[in-house]
Structure 1
């Protein structure tokens, strides 16, 4: 619990700092507080994941600090070449993109999720993205980020098609949603906060469900024999995460698409919409089998009845997802 408080405190340091050096200190505290949460001496995969996470985040932090110091020198007009071609902004953006697991620095993100519990996966896919995205909004390179957000939605959608691990599928889903988050932070910080809040609700519900029923691979979903209310909760939250219109996950994506259309960005809008359709394809592929197949005996299934409070919270969040179109209609009309 102590490290959770440090994790939250480090994020507050970074986003409330008035200097780049203070932001870097917050990032370092965040790194050192998250590693004890994911490391487990009894699990070799967790130890490997913590080592990979430490190495990649350290490289990104070193690059970030070096660019900050170089930026101070450039402000004295010693190197006009760097100012002219925006190399400093590109390198600072690249460091932050590596920290949040964005394209093209996403390989560490995919590799370490297999060694994490569902709680740590949830933290990595949500809370750990807050600081880099907010710092990215302070000093972003428009042309670079337009290319990055397009590649995020494409790779996130295509990469999840051939996956058999649910954790890796959720990782590619996170990469896809990261493209939407970057586009929202370029539009408005309030829109990004709204999108991130909705995304966190959907991801937390799914991660809790996966944890309660001890699910890690697709073949477990095929032999998933519980009552249909639980399966409907999976259906609602998966379709909401994919951005299907009757659910709350479509609401923030609708706002972003409206903004892109008003600014005549039709190609980017088409790519975003197509990527959401691909995401919905492999979400429905999982749910289709879990609804149709029934097995009498399951060895890995936990008894979820002892998790009554969490189960009621999941039920409430799923009901929020279903009521999404009503909120959307009142908002626009």
Structure 2
């Protein structure tokens, strides 16, 4: 019997809840799948004798419960007005309530208040699940309740809060949380432009986030000062850390620039120039604090701390992260060659 076999059960029901939501034909089944997903994630986040994870689990549960109750309320409103055949008069208002509940589940602005706090209390593995898999069902469901004006408002706020919120952060988990909020704004813009583009954007976002968090988890890094003190003279290791970070920020010619490039092209074709200018300018701020971290780690001198010597890569981790690094650097070049051959 596996020691942590219960985790396999909850992981299975976690995936099952998402599959139920995105393959449902009724909103009530969608709500049921989201509840299964929520109640499966809570036990995975809780750790014995760790008050931070328990606090983060409680905050996550309360926020998601509020979002689920709002979602159920909007579903009841839908069924009530359909029964009285007056849905056309209130459909846009109910869509806003429905979209708000789904945005709260993903952590989009202006419902982002819980996301950095919850990520700060979880370990890196749970953060990967929260940043990637937990966003799949709500984002797909958002594409079924489009409201352009409300979505434009949320896109602008997500990009602004995601950029400005990470400026003075020293915690890498909060930094990744605000970066995720910024990317959610771009993904929402991709939903309004083209359904296939947001899927491609989400795949690239998941790949780059996993590559960055894999390194942080391997080296047990949680704060910026650990980067400075641990790798004072290991410039190769600093390069390995910051190339995926800069790719996640969307710096050309790295791979993370490609999905942003597609979204920019689509929004220009839709004449959404004003929103696009705001998105680009504030995304440059996220790139600024990534570059600031990189310059500080490379150019400033810091004392080497003995208590960090035991963090190292084994052979398996070196192979995995070498693959992530290679794709991050040369992925955009391969994509361009592929399109030229087509």
Structure 2, unpaired ranges of 5+: 1-7
Q: Quick check: 1:161 aligned with 2:167?
A: yes
SS at match of 1:304: coil
CA distance in 2, matches of 1:84, 1:191: 30
TM-score by length of 1: 0.95
- Would you say 1:128 and 2:129 are equivalent positions? no
Displacement of 1:230: 2.1
Report the alpha carbon displacement of residue 311 of structure 1 after superposing the two structures with TM.
2.6
Look up the match of 1:259: 266
Q: How far apart are residue 297 of structure 1 and its match? A: 3.1
Identify the range of structure 1 (21-30 vs 288-297) with the bigger mean alpha-carbon deviation.
288-297
Q: CA deviation at 1:189?
A: 2.4
With the length of structure 2 as denominator, give the TM-score of the two structures. 0.92
CA distance 1:76–1:101, shift in 2 (3 Å)? same
**2:156–2:278 CA contact under 8 A, matched in 1:** yes
SS at match of 1:160: coil
Q: Within 5 Å, give how 1:137-176 maps onto structure 2.
A: 137-176=143-182
Matched, 1:182 2:188: yes
**What is the distance in 2 between the residues matched to 1:125 and 1:235?**
19
Q: Deviations over 1:146-168 (max 9, x none)?
A: 11011101110111101111111
Over 3 Å counting, the alpha-carbon distance change for 1:145 and 1:5 in structure 2 is same
Cα distance change, pair 16–169 in 1 and its aligned pair in 2 (3 A) = same
Q: For the aligned residues, what is the CA RMSD?
A: 1.7
Question: Is 1:104 aligned to residue 118 of structure 2?
Answer: no
CA contact (8 A) 2:230 2:305 kept: no
In structure 2, do the counterparts of structure 1 residues 245 and 68 end up closer, same or farther at CA, with 3 Å as the change threshold?
Answer: same
Equivalent residue for 2:316? 309
Post-superposition shift, 1:138? Answer: 1.1
Structure 1 residues not aligned, in runs of 5+: none
The alpha carbon displacement at 1:76 in A equals: 2.6
Check whether the contact 1:67–1:91 (CA below 8 A) recurs between aligned residues. Answer: yes
Q: Note if contact 1:74-1:83 (Cα within 8 Å) is conserved in structure 2.
A: no
Which of 297, 304, 310 lines up with 1:296 in the alignment?
Answer: 304
Residue 42 of structure 2: SS of its match in structure 1? helix
2:4 aligned partner: none
